[in-house]
Amino acid sequence: MKRRNPLKQTNDLAGCKVLVTKGEKSGNEGIVLGKGDKAGQWIVSLDGEDGILEMGFPNEISLLFDGSGQQGLN
């Protein structure tokens, strides 16, 4: 079965789980709340922290994928 990439269709990261890859918060995980004010920027709420950050994709954040619920992907 061919898998579809929802980002190619919608170009929307809202609701996606991400990992911060650069800067002071590197290594933290969070959820994208929506688009930021600038092109390529997204509003991210980090797990276990108050407040929100505006971060760039793919320069500062990367998508996380949990394949634990899908057999054959682990």
Instruction: Give residue-wise pLDDT tens across range 46-58.
Output: 999 998 999 999 8
Would 15 be classed as within a structural domain? yes
Would 74 be classed as within a structural domain? no
Could you list the beta-strand ranges (E) of 21-71: 29-35, 41-46, 53-56, 61-63
The pair of three-digit structure tokens given for residue 58, joined into one six-digit string: 């793919």
CATH number, domain of 23, equals 2.30.30.30
Nearest alpha-carbon partner for 30 in 63, 72, 70, 74: 63
Span 10-32, mean pLDDT? 91
Q: Report how many domains make up the chain.
A: 1
Would 4 be classed as within a structural domain? no
pLDDT higher than 70, residue 1: no
Domain that holds residue 47: 11-63
Tell me, what's the pLDDT at 34?
Answer: 94
Would 36 be classed as within a structural domain? yes
Would 2 be classed as within a structural domain? no
